[in-house]
């Protein structure tokens, strides 16, 4: 512990310590929530010195955002051997809908109302990059002709993740990969470039 606290400047960060800290943060967020999370509790559970954590992150909010981002990477990813755009989107939404991530995000959403520092860190460090990643996949769908080129991809992205957050915060229904798959299917039907032509009498007016 003492040796870890007095590392020479420029020495590479310990991968093992990083992983232990991330797991400790995630466990504590699930167990007690953001408000009760402390650097001391994280250090104790991870088996590192508090200074090890202070050297890594400038604030508690930044620490939590990086931990949740890392947590998503451990979620299962579907086999995207076919229909890559749809499959990739389902995998991304499934990562958000995993039980631990969903529980953490629910708690963070409540805290964000009262904590501007946390709100900014989550929007810029977690939600912003995640949204851009979804939009990037949707752009591929436009390039392959699966999505209409005039579709508002930012709006499509919001429609994809909206049902997950609604269930997290209000509905209380199941949040799982099945919900992710059905959401992707329904939303992409609306944005699809392969829409059936309207028959006689089906148009407006």
**Structural domains in the chain?**
14-70 (1.10.10.60), 75-191 (1.10.357.10)
Range of 3-7, 82-86, 101-105 with top mean pLDDT: 101-105
Q: What pLDDT is attached to residue 21?
A: 93
Judge whether residue 203 has pLDDT over 60.
Answer: no
**192 by DSSP, 3-state: which?**
strand
- Say if CB 119 and CB 112 are below 8 A apart: yes
What is each CA distance from 18 to 46, 121, 173, in whole angstroms?
9, 19, 34
Cα 113 from chain centroid?
A: 18
Q: What pLDDT is attached to residue 176?
A: 76
pLDDT one-digit tens code per residue, 137-156: 999 899 988 899 999 999 99
What is each CA distance from 193 to 45, 85, 86, 132, in whole angstroms?
51, 14, 14, 21
Task: Name the pLDDT band for 7 (thresholds 50, 70, 90).
Answer: very low
Which comes out higher in pLDDT, residue 79 or 201?
Answer: 201
DSSP string of 121-174, one letter each residue: HHIIIIIHHHHHHHHHHHHHHHHTTSB-TTS-HHHHHHHHHHHHHHIIIII---
Nearest CA-CA partner of 134 in 169, 105, 161: 161
Length of the chain: 205
Q: What percent of the chain has pLDDT over 90?
A: 37
pLDDT one-digit tens code per residue, 21-32: 999 999 999 899
């Amino acid at each position: 512990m003492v040796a870890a606290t007095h590392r020479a400047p420029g020495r590479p960060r310990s991968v093992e310590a990083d992983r232990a800290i991330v797991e400790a943060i995630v466990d504590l967020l699930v167990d007690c929530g953001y408000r009760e999370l402390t650097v001391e509790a994280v250090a104790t559970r991870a088996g590192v010195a508090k200074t090890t954590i202070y050297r890594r992150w400038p604030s508690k909010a930044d620490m939590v955002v990086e931990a949740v981002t890392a947590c998503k990477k451990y979620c299962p990813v579907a086999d995207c051997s076919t229909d890559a755009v749809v499959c990739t989107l389902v995998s991304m939404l499934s990562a958000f809908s995993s039980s631990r991530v969903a529980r953490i995000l629910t708690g963070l959403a409540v805290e964000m109302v009262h904590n501007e520092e946390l709100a900014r860190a989550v929007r810029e460090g977690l939600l912003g990059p995640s949204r851009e990643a979804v939009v990037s996949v949707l752009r591929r769908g436009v390039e392959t002709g699966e999505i209409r080129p005039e579709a508002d991809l930012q709006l499509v992205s919001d429609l994809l993740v909206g049902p997950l957050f609604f269930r997290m915060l209000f509905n209380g229904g199941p949040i799982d990969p099945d919900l992710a798959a059905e959401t992707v299917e329904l939303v992409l039907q609306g944005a699809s470039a392969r829409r059936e032509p309207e028959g006689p009498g089906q148009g407006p007016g």
